[in-house]
């Protein structure tokens, strides 16, 4: 058993793609699938009835806006490896979904637009990856457009993202002068032909850039420029060191144009060679290694109504250790009960298929009638919880009201399920039981309204409320006089979250500061996992 398990683990690479909206993440995902042979021709993803959005955006509201709202999972085989991509929403209103997805990946590809350079959203996400020491590759996209000088871009990536980069491919010209890419990793040149965008020329081997043939192929000035650039690179940037990359201390950079299929295969080839296999994960008891015999995994996402004809929810589980088998009993740690799953799904965007067994690194979708929450752990009986899947304090708050008294049941169920999915957070006021929804971005309110109406046949109205931050309350002694006074004075601001944790809804930063000074034994946290 053990050797076959290790063999399966070594075949798998699970990564996430992060970027600012419009940097070309969805296009890159599509082209990776194209080279993986998962789709026959680029653009095929777009043809069926919907003109907008590739296979990975399958919720109606995303199609209308052209942004990825829900993270989706795509799997394909390439060069004998099984590759799992977790696409993440680039839109900042959905940052929390992205942070949670990053708990399920072993490495990350960061996409940067050559014209716009490093944008704020990318900075935040990269910071999370750095904190967790997740290995990162950088793909600089849209080289067929005019943009920043390659050296300037690398400086910007190093300074703004606090990374140490080493280029593994290098552009020959840019925009109108873009002729192709010198692949430093494989020592060859790929030429770009704007006329024939769907076909990529075979690489021309170039062990030695001083070869005069280079001048004939790209022209004297471009050839000289490339030689000078490469010489400069050797002097300025560290040479690639796989261990430093795996430790999160060095980030390789590739250049290309995903829209034109260019530079994507170089990225994929190097990725397959260097990206980490499934990694160990920390639980509250111990570090769990992928090659352990016993299965364990955790829920990092819940997606409702992936199939509009059936009211279903899928819990996305990252397999951490052992082998997951269909129809076998597993232990749901939080509920303390055994469950078995007759139709676990693997994914190719919105096409799913039932799988009999899954291995560490894989993402499986389990049909869920309401048993799962984000962060739940499944094991073969061991009482442990995987760590690091927090809720962050929302930035927007509104009262939520049921607009149709005849539909109270649908309204309750809809709100309940959407909150389980982590679309937003629900707080119930202690003194009058009113419901407040907190979100990271204002766009979620539209998503909630749209989905309540279309999936649950319920209508909602919102009312503004002045709340600055939600603070989770931690106190050692609930019977202390100080805590009782805190509860009495602040009773109008106290609420419970979905997991019945006590939350203080503060109306300003000043209030938080004063409260902490006045009641030192009451600790306030901006993250629910403390």
Work out the number of other CB atoms within 10 angstroms of the CB of residue 507: 14
| Of the candidate ranges 82-86, 285-289, 368-372, 515-519, the one whose mean pLDDT is the lowest | 368-372
pLDDT exceeds cutoff 70 at 222: yes
If one compares 362 and 94, the residue with the highest pLDDT of the two is 362
The DSSP annotation for 386-453 comes to B---PPBPPSEEEEEEES-GGGHHHHHHHHHHHHHTTSSEEEEETTT--EEEEESSTHHHHHHHHHHH
What residues contact 15, with CB distance under 8 A and at least 6 apart? 83, 84, 85, 86, 105, 106, 107, 108, 109, 271, 275
Q: Distance between CA atoms of 385 and 367, rounded to whole angstroms?
A: 21
What residues contact 467, with CB distance under 8 A and at least 6 apart? 397, 436, 438, 505, 506, 507
pTM of the model: 0.76
Q: What is the pLDDT of residues 313-329, one digit of tens each?
A: 788 899 999 989 888 99
Mean pLDDT score, 270-296: 89
Average pLDDT, rounded, for the chain: 80
Mean pLDDT score, 213-235: 79
Q: With helix as H, strand as E and coil as C, how does 289-331 read?
A: CCCCCCCEEEEEEEEECCCCCCCCEEEEEEEEECCEECCCEEE
The confidence score (pLDDT) of residue 484 equals 92
Q: Distance between CA atoms of 147 and 114, rounded to whole angstroms?
A: 5
Q: Residue 239: which of 248, 252, 249, 226 has the closest Cα?
A: 252
Query: How would you class 334 by CB atoms within 10 Å of its CB: exposed for 0-12, middle for 13-18, buried for 19 or more?
Result: middle
What Å distances lie between residue 257 and 273, 350, 432, CA to CA? Answer: 21, 26, 56
Distance from CA of residue 52 to its chain's centroid?
Answer: 21
| Of the candidate ranges 19-33, 265-279, 325-339, 450-464, the one whose mean pLDDT is the lowest | 19-33
- Residue 517 pLDDT level (bands cut at 50, 70, 90): very high
The phi and psi torsions of 235 (rounded to 5 degrees) equal -75, -30
Q: Distance between CA atoms of 81 and 29, rounded to whole angstroms?
A: 17
Question: Are the CB atoms for 504 and 489 separated by under 8 Å?
Answer: no
The confidence score (pLDDT) of residue 487 equals 92
Return the percentage of the chain with pLDDT > 70, whole number. 83
250-276 in b/e form (b: 16+ CB < 10 A) is: bbbbbbbbbbbbbbbbbbbbbbeebbb
- Give the residues across from 471 on adjacent strands: 504
Rg (C-alpha) for the chain, rounded Å, is 25
Distance from CA of residue 442 to its chain's centroid?
Answer: 20
The phi and psi torsions of 135 (rounded to 5 degrees) equal -60, 140
The confidence score (pLDDT) of residue 348 equals 58
The confidence score (pLDDT) of residue 40 equals 45
pLDDT exceeds cutoff 70 at 95: no
Mean pLDDT score, 145-151: 80
- Residue 42 pLDDT level (bands cut at 50, 70, 90): very low
If one compares 243 and 354, the residue with the highest pLDDT of the two is 243
Q: Distance between CA atoms of 13 and 83, rounded to whole angstroms?
A: 5
What Å distances lie between residue 189 and 203, 350, 351, 459, CA to CA? Answer: 5, 36, 37, 58
What count of Cα atoms within 13 Å lies in the side-chain half-sphere of residue 243? Answer: 0
Query: How would you class 483 by CB atoms within 10 Å of its CB: exposed for 0-12, middle for 13-18, buried for 19 or more?
Result: middle
pLDDT exceeds cutoff 90 at 429: yes
What count of Cα atoms within 13 Å lies in the side-chain half-sphere of residue 267? Answer: 29
Helix (H, G, I), strand (E, B) or coil at 196: coil
Q: Distance between CA atoms of 80 and 83, rounded to whole angstroms?
A: 9
The confidence score (pLDDT) of residue 50 equals 35
Helix (H, G, I), strand (E, B) or coil at 84: strand
Under the phi-then-psi rule, with left for phi > 0, alpha for psi from -120 to 50, and beta for the rest, what region is 437?
Answer: beta
Q: Which helix (H) or strand (E) holds 510?
A: helix 509-518
The confidence score (pLDDT) of residue 496 equals 93
- Residue 202 pLDDT level (bands cut at 50, 70, 90): low
Q: What is the pLDDT of residues 469-515, one digit of tens each?
A: 999 999 888 889 999 999 999 999 999 988 788 999 999 999 999 99
The confidence score (pLDDT) of residue 41 equals 42
- Residue 53 pLDDT level (bands cut at 50, 70, 90): very low
Q: With helix as H, strand as E and coil as C, how does 206-251 read?
A: CCCCCCCHHHHHHCHHHHHHHHHHHHHHHHHCCCCCHHHHHCCCCE
Mean pLDDT score, 155-163: 87
Note the maximum CA span of the chain. Answer: 85
Q: Distance between CA atoms of 101 and 87, rounded to whole angstroms?
A: 9
Angle at 107 between CA 238 and CA 274, to 5 degrees: 55
- Residue 466 pLDDT level (bands cut at 50, 70, 90): very high
Question: Are the CB atoms for 389 and 375 separated by under 8 Å?
Answer: yes
The confidence score (pLDDT) of residue 191 equals 75
| Of the candidate ranges 87-101, 308-322, 461-475, the one whose mean pLDDT is the lowest | 87-101
Q: Distance between CA atoms of 270 and 264, rounded to whole angstroms?
A: 10
Helix (H, G, I), strand (E, B) or coil at 483: helix
Q: What is the pLDDT of residues 355-414, one digit of tens each?
A: 888 899 888 888 887 788 888 899 998 888 887 666 777 889 999 999 998 999 999 988
- Residue 92 pLDDT level (bands cut at 50, 70, 90): low
- Give the residues across from 464 on adjacent strands: 398
């Amino acid at each position: 058993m053990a050797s076959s398990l290790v063999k399966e683990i070594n075949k798998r690479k699970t990564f996430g793609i992060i970027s600012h909206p419009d940097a070309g993440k969805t296009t890159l995902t599509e082209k990776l699938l194209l080279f993986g042979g998962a789709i026959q021709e680029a653009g095929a993803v777009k043809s069926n009835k919907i003109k907008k959005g590739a296979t990975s955006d399958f919720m109606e509201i995303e199609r209308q806006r052209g942004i990825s709202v829900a993270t989706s999972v795509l799997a394909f085989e390439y060069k004998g490896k099984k590759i799992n991509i977790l696409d993440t929403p680039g839109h900042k209103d959905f940052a929390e979904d992205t942070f949670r997805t990053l708990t399920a990946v072993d490495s990350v590809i960061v996409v940067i637009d050559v014209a716009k350079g490093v944008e704020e959203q990318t900075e935040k996400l990269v910071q999370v990856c750095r904190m967790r020491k997740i290995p990162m590759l950088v793909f600089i996209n849209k080289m067929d457009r005019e943009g920043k000088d390659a050296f300037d871009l690398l400086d910007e990536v190093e300074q703004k993202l606090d990374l140490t980069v080493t280029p593994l491919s290098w552009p020959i010209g840019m925009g109108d002068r873009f002729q192709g890419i010198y692949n430093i990793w494989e020592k060859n040149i790929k030429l770009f032909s704007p006329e024939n965008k769907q076909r990529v020329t075979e690489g021309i081997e170039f062990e030695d850039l001083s070869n005069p043939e280079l001048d004939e192929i790209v022209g004297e000035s471009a050839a000289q420029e490339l030689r000078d650039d490469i010489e400069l690179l050797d002097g300025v940037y560290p040479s690639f060191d796989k261990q430093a990359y795996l430790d999160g201390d060095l980030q390789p950079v590739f250049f290309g144009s995903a829209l034109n299929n260019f530079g994507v295969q170089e990225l994929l080839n190097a990725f397959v060679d260097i990206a980490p296999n499934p990694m160990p994960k920390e639980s509250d008891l111990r570090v769990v290694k992928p090659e352990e015999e016993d299965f364990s995994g955790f829920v990092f996402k819940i997606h409702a109504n992936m199939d509009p004809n059936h009211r279903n929810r899928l819990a996305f589980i990252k397999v951490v250790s052992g082998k997951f088998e269909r129809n076998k009993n597993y232990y749901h740690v939080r509920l303390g009960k055994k469950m078995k799953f007759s139709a676990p799904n693997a994914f190719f965007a919105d096409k799913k298929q039932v799988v009999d067994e899954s291995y560490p690194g894989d993402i499986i979708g389990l049909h869920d009638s309401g048993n799962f929450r984000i962060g739940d752990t499944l094991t073969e009986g061991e009482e442990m919880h995987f760590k690091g899947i927090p809720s962050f304090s929302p930035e927007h708050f509104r009262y939520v009201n049921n607009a149709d008294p005849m539909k109270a049941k649908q309204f309750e169920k809809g709100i309940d399920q959407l909150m389980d999915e982590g679309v937003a957070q629900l707080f119930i006021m202690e003194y009058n039981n009113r419901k407040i929804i907190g979100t990271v971005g204002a766009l979620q309110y539209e998503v909630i309204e749209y989905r309540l109406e279309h999936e649950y046949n319920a209508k909602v109205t919102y009312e503004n409320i002045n709340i600055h931050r939600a603070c989770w309350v931690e106190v050692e002694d609930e019977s202390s006089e100080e805590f009782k006074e805190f509860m009495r004075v602040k009773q109008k601001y106290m609420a419970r979250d979905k997991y019945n944790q006590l939350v203080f809804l503060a109306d300003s930063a000043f209030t938080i500061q004063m409260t902490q000074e006045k009641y030192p034994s009451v600790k306030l946290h901006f993250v629910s996992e403390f």
